[in-house]
Amino acid sequence: MKNPIKLLVIDDDKSLLIGLAEALRREGWYQVLTADNGNLGIQLAEKNLPHLIICDLMMPPPNGIAVLQTLAKNPVTAAIPFIFLTARTDHEDKLTGLDLGADDYITKPFSKDELMIRVRTLLRRKDLTESMERSNSEEEINLLRAEIRNIMQSSAANHNQLAEAMIQMLSLRDSQTEVHVRRVVELSNKLARELGLGEDLIQQIYLGSLLHDIGKIGIPDSILQKEQALTDEEHSVIMTHTSLGKLILQPLGLAPAVIEIAYYHHERWDGGGYPEGLEGENIPLPARIFSIVDAWDTLTSDRQSQNSWSQKKTIAHLREQAGRHFDPNLVESFLAIIGRESKEKR
Ligand SMILES: [Fe+2]
């Protein structure tokens, strides 16, 4: 059997567990893992990343709700479809379970046929969502996805490691990327702190800055690595990197600001940017922050160092573009940081 669908069944009632597992296995295409307590269930879920979990609600602690809560906190297991088994009297808990993100519930006693239908429906829904998000245009994106899946299967996986691996992959295509990325990550972090944003958002901006140009992985080498000026047509291909970035990042369940930076970092305050031509504060704040930082680093650190602008010239440019390309308030906050840093260096 190639790539069987993995199901995890968690129930403290051992005879029900055995019967259920056997019924599912008899369907022929399921590999069934079983756990007779919540802790073992959590361990098996994290280690094996099943395609779907069926879990009893009433168990000695941790009960089904606690299992769901634990798995929901872990980015690796949060998206696994989850079905509750409940007794008729568990009405309150059933609602709590659904509220916490369970996908479905089945009331005991249930028929095996009913369970099979629910399992198949949920798996089909998950499959459909995934294939809608799949791009068939870029082989690289598929390679990237395979890499991401590998990383997510390692137990120590977290979003930062994921982002690092993605950056390494992009660096294979575009060697200049990594140095630029490290610098903008640091600068956007400083600007976010200067603005007094909360730690959560600061962390999201960190990840977004790291991954801002990840969509470039889908741009052909002949354009991405071209040294001469780009033709209009080539430029319009480059411009698709923001949409490709969103396409890559969206299925990963990353925080909104991460995707906002990838998708909107080429918007302009005056509405003349891309991909949406948003104007002013309609552009999400993380993207407005990032676009200033990105411009600063691009202008002061050109690939050919003789083309780099001086700090003085770049400051004048940012001021001149405040209210045109950039959010004027953010330009002032950013220049305050640059001013302090150059004073410290003196
Ligand atoms: Fe970009």
Confidence of residue 88 (pLDDT cuts 50, 70, 90): low
Mean of pLDDT values over 36-64: 93
Query: What whole-number distance in Å separates Cα of residue 325 and Cα of residue 283?
Result: 12
Q: Specify the pTM.
A: 0.56
For ligand 1, the distance from its centroid to the CA atom of residue 341, given in whole angstroms, is 26
Mean of pLDDT values over 89-100: 70
For 167-226, how does the pLDDT look when each residue is reduced to its tens digit (9 = 90+)? 888 887 777 777 888 899 999 999 999 999 888 889 889 999 999 999 998 888 899 888
Q: What is residue 136's predicted lDDT score, i.e. its pLDDT?
A: 47
Query: What whole-number distance in Å separates Cα of residue 150 and Cα of residue 138?
Result: 19
**Residue 5 DSSP SS3:** strand
**Lookup: tokens for 318:** 């940012």
For ligand 1, the distance from its centroid to the CA atom of residue 213, given in whole angstroms, is 5
Class of domain 5-128: alpha beta
Which amino acid does the sequence have at 16? L
| Domain 155-345 in the same topology as domain 5-128 | no
- Of the candidates 46, 44, 66, 47, the one whose C-alpha atom is nearest the C-alpha of residue 56 is 66
For ligand 1, the distance from its centroid to the CA atom of residue 245, given in whole angstroms, is 9
For ligand 1, the distance from its centroid to the CA atom of residue 263, given in whole angstroms, is 9
For ligand 1, the distance from its centroid to the CA atom of residue 238, given in whole angstroms, is 9
Domain boundaries, the chain: 5-128, 155-345
* CA distances from residue 121 to 24, 48, 117, 128, 329 in whole angstroms, order as listed: 14, 21, 6, 11, 50
Q: Which helix (H) or strand (E) holds 32?
A: strand 30-35
For 58-81, how does the pLDDT look when each residue is reduced to its tens digit (9 = 90+)? 899 999 989 999 998 888 888 888
pLDDT cut 70: percent of the chain above it: 86
Confidence of residue 144 (pLDDT cuts 50, 70, 90): low
Question: Check: CATH 1.10.3210.10 for 155-345?
Answer: yes
